[in-house]
């Protein structure tokens, strides 16, 4: 029998997504817009965190948000209370956002010049890890009620993120959250990652987190003018 | 569970190559990194489903696992991680944020029918 004939190809399976993501990233950069995505498990508090973030940033920056969800538009309605432009991406049964959905959502949306575009992914700590959305900054959220070992259970998505935000810190004592263990676990799967602790309900820790974002927006817009 | 859509992308890509080159494909070879976010077992199952009714029906998906390789700034060389839960050099313990390999989700070769 002849040896098998092999045809070398070397093609990235997610090439299509990556090409669109790269184009989006270039476009955000050219416009001086910082794209920030949020990933977490369902119920970690992405929407509450984002609503508070948009409300507090609105007086100082031009911000907008895209929010992905399987079936409802509830999150967009909640975020709309912050009175910034918000658009829902309903994914149907798809468990994650893809770059093409971001591109499509932006098509008929005239936003002018934005300082920042937030993209809230579908609540899921698995699938979103594989898809580049063209974001500049990926924030992974972890609520104190979920347990300190989440980073070890989902190392792929924690490793893919740039910043971690521990949410619902006002409940830390009630659920005996071990902050040191959580930090150690985050650093184990993503050494050097910056971690913020916040409560979007009481505003505890929000200042530091918003200052970090504000600095990132400013840096982006300065780079554009240079 | 996004493995089915990944499997469909693999089948689409392979079908396109097969049609363009007028060949029949016996197997698709794939490099799958530990950090790709794709579960091998789910992908192998989904591949069969994705192949149904296509030119690739009956073909195999051959997966080569790619472990996580990082750069150790103390040892000044690439190292392979023992665990994806600990991004530290296995030899000296230095933290290793720089990932060199392990995110692969790459079709490397097509095995053709004789």
Q: What is the CATH number of the domain that holds A220?
A: 3.40.50.300
| B88: chain A residues, CB-CB within 8 Å | 188, 191
Q: Which residue of A has its CA nearest to B97?
A: A191
pLDDT in tens, B34-60: 999 999 999 999 999 999 999 999 999
The answer to whether residue A165 sits within a structural domain is yes
Residue of B10, B85, B101 to mutate for A, most A C-beta atoms under 10 A: B85
A126 in contact with B at a CB cutoff of 8 Å?
A: yes
The answer to whether residue A8 sits within a structural domain is no
Strand order in the sheet with B99-101: B77-80, B69-72, B99-101
| B17: chain A residues, CB-CB within 8 Å | 7, 9
Summarize the confidence of residues B86-102 as an average pLDDT: 96
Number of domains in chain B: 1
Strand order in the sheet with A116-120: A86-90, A63-69, A116-120, A34-39, A137-143, A163-167, A194-197
The answer to whether residue A3 sits within a structural domain is no
**For residue A225, what pLDDT is reported?**
54
| B97: chain A residues, CB-CB within 8 Å | 190-192
Contact A78, A50 (CB under 8 A): no
Instruction: Write out the residue range of the structural domain in which residue B54 sits.
Output: 3-112
Instruction: Write out the residue range of the structural domain in which residue A157 sits.
Output: 15-21+28-225
> Which among A55, A31, A47, A56 has a CA at the least distance from the CA of A119?
A47
Kindly give the pairing relationship between strand A137-143 and strand A163-167: parallel
Cβ B112–A7 below 8 Å, yes or no?
A: yes
Distances (CA, A) of A192 to A136, A163, A185, B23, B84: 17, 9, 12, 49, 16
The span from the CA of A22 to the CA of A7, in Å, is 28
**For residue A224, what pLDDT is reported?**
67
How many angstroms away from the CA of B54 is the closest CA of chain A?
Answer: 18
The yes-or-no verdict on residue B110 having pLDDT over 80 is: yes
Number of domains in chain A: 1
CATH number, domain of B92, equals 3.30.2320.80
Across chain B, mean pLDDT equals 95
**For residue A71, what pLDDT is reported?**
84
Cβ A12–B105 below 8 Å, yes or no?
A: yes
pLDDT in tens, B5-24: 999 999 999 999 999 989 99
Summarize the confidence of residues B70-88 as an average pLDDT: 97
Q: Which residues share a beta bridge with A37?
A: A119, A138
| B13: chain A residues, CB-CB within 8 Å | 11, 13
Q: Mean pLDDT, 10 residues at a time, over chain A (226 residues)?
A: 78 94 95 96 96 96 93 87 92 89 91 90 93 97 96 96 98 97 98 97 98 95 69
**For residue A2, what pLDDT is reported?**
55
Cβ A8–B108 below 8 Å, yes or no?
A: yes
pTM for the model stands at 0.92
């Amino acid at each position: 029998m002849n040896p098998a004939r092999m045809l070398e190809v070397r093609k990235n399976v997610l090439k299509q997504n990556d090409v669109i993501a790269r184009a989006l990233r270039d476009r955000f950069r050219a416009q001086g817009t910082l794209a920030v995505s949020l990933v977490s498990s369902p119920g970690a508090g992405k929407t509450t965190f984002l609503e508070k973030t948009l409300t507090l940033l609105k007086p100082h920056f031009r911000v907008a948000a895209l929010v992905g969800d399987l079936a409802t538009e509830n999150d967009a309605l909640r975020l709309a209370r912050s009175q910034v432009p918000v658009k829902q991406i309903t994914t149907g049964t798809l468990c994650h956002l893809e770059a093409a959905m971001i591109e499509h959502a932006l098509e008929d949306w005239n936003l002018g010049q934005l300082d920042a575009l937030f993209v809230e992914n579908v609540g899921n700590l698995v699938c979103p890890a594989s898809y580049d959305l063209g974001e500049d900054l990926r924030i992974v959220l972890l609520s104190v009620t979920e347990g300190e070992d989440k980073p070890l259970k989902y190392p792929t998505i924690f490793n893919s993120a740039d910043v971690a935000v521990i949410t619902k810190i006002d409940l830390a004592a009630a659920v005996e959250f071990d902050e040191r263990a959580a930090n150690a676990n985050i650093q184990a799967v993503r050494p050097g990652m910056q971690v913020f602790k916040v409560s979007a309900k009481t505003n505890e820790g929000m200042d530091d987190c918003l200052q970090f974002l504000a600095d990132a927006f400013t840096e982006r817009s300065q780079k554009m003018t240079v | 569970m996004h493995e089915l859509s990944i499997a469909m992308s693999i089948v689409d890509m392979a079908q396109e190559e097969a049609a363009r080159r007028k060949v029949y494909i016996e197997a698709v070879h794939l490099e799958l990194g530990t950090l790709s976010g794709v579960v091998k077992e789910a992908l192998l199952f989904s591949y069969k489903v994705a192949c149904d009714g296509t030119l690739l029906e009956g073909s195999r998906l051959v997966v080569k696992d790619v472990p996580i390789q990082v750069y150790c700034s103390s040892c000044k060389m690439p190292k392979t991680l023992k665990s994806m839960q600990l991004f530290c050099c296995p030899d000296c313990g230095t933290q290793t944020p720089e990932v060199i390999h392990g995110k692969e989700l790459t079709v490397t070769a097509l095995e053709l029918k004789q």
